[in-house]
Structure 1
């Protein structure tokens, strides 16, 4: 039987309608199941809270009453992803724990037509701000990487206090100029990144350099030796413009030379201390730095700072001090005090004496300290009795340890005293 064209069109339209209805019902069922799972998660999360549960629920109810963040609705313009929803719920706990700092109630919050996290930012500002706080600070409340200092800084700024008065900014030197720029930083930066951004801008650098250092180098966060890194940033600013790849390579090279273990930078056996712990940009031009980055291995070998290729780094000696050794003989026993001059000698001393003298390799290589071994020899065998540290500039015996860090016996102490008198050495109060 042949169907009329009109009849065929009707059947097609009906099929499309039925499929659409089925899809809508399936979508509604999915939303219903998702809402149930979300309700269950919030309830279980609330049960785990102590002391702030009521304020947590107060926030949840306000958010649900005024937005669709935690109660998805059909056709809603802004719907949070499941992972974002979990972060927002955790943010409610953190906000609830700071309830004593609330300036206003959640129920009086006026919600903007915006994305979920912009709405959450407005809630945070509504609750806490006595004075305007930069937008980039708000995400500290829902950050996946929980940092209490970030929330404390937010509350600090919300009362109108200066960022310079905040005490938990690592070793970062906050000038008035940096503080002013900090409050004007872009919204897409994390507070810890904003410190570096503000510093670079205060020193005369542009947004490009600041973002390269933040996004592509280890300088995204304050470092222990901030004074040194400030000199590096000044160098990059003075020699701008520099290509992005070269900026990254310069920072990486300097970090490896001055801070990373030589074992990783130079090669096996080079020790735990850095290759150039006193590396500085003072007196260098960009061209001379580029040359050093290419030829640094041969330059360090020529200066005697690192061993040539045929010498094992463990057996590469540092410069002998101007303190003399000691030797005396009593009843067929030879007493000696000798300076240890290679990493291997320090490793052996630490292994046999069972202490951590090998940790002093870097300081010995830089001649900041010297390590000596006091021992007795009968025939061909030498037995270690005492390990001694002497500061070469002051000629101060800073410490002396026996095996297992035990104190010296009377006879051993006598030889140490005689050596000190011979070389004009002094004892520290702790030696």
Structure 2
């Protein structure tokens, strides 16, 4: 049945209304849920039940934010804080990325102790900080992270220069393991006495950190900024040499070995000899000869003995030579004596000591014992 003019106008009006409402739905923001205060309270209470100074059920925040981190901080302030604390301590409620469970628990406990007016020193900070340093840590202001504030407190005990302390507190020292605090305290004190730029401190921290990992007895005592710069420069040259040797080894091997800079070397076994008590020059004296199979060992030998044995890496990788070292151990110390090059038939091609000196008579006698025991041929 044909529709009347009035009906057609009503249908057209209905379609226009529906199209208008659909457009409004597309451009209008979706309704937002209310801030989840209960969730914030539950997250803040977790692990610290019974330590709140206020009843969470009475919390009536006038907050419009829906950011979970900001809600956590607000809840923590209500439940635990009698006094305001620094942003460095409050940051644990806002962001915990990159922190393990133990570190998170420590920072939360520190916040609760400090905000509640309790002794942070007695709450566990005394494991790392003195009373003076704890006081400084609690009274720092400015845009500092927890680690920067922690180190700022330490550094202020070594210098009155606030600018210098802030500069050092923003270097790589701040990111060092807390378990190695004693060593890095020494480093921080060194730069307080011999200041330099933030960039150079970071570079020098890479060097001293590598030395500390290699030798736990490494110390900055008696060193100067100039000597440290020189040693760092030599270290960089050694690292570059190791990388060149590694690249050479990869080209020859055609694959990456699980041990960086290592090669197969000679099948000859290492050797050790302890002289009789009557012949020994010191109690427990021992001599040993071992093969160098890594780029690091080869470069270190070259640096320590002041000769060019590191340039023989190519021959070692190709199997045309093997490098051996003679060491003496006595009274808990190891002394470098000789560096030895053998060809594939176990014949001694070169024997050199410090600065390319020749072997001494006593050393030659030890070499003869080794040669006899292992079938090595020595030249006259």
State the TM-score, normalized to the length of structure 1: 0.45
Scaled by the length of structure 2, the TM-score of the pair is: 0.50
Q: Name the structure, 1 or 2, with higher relative contact order (CA <8 Å, separation 6+).
A: 2
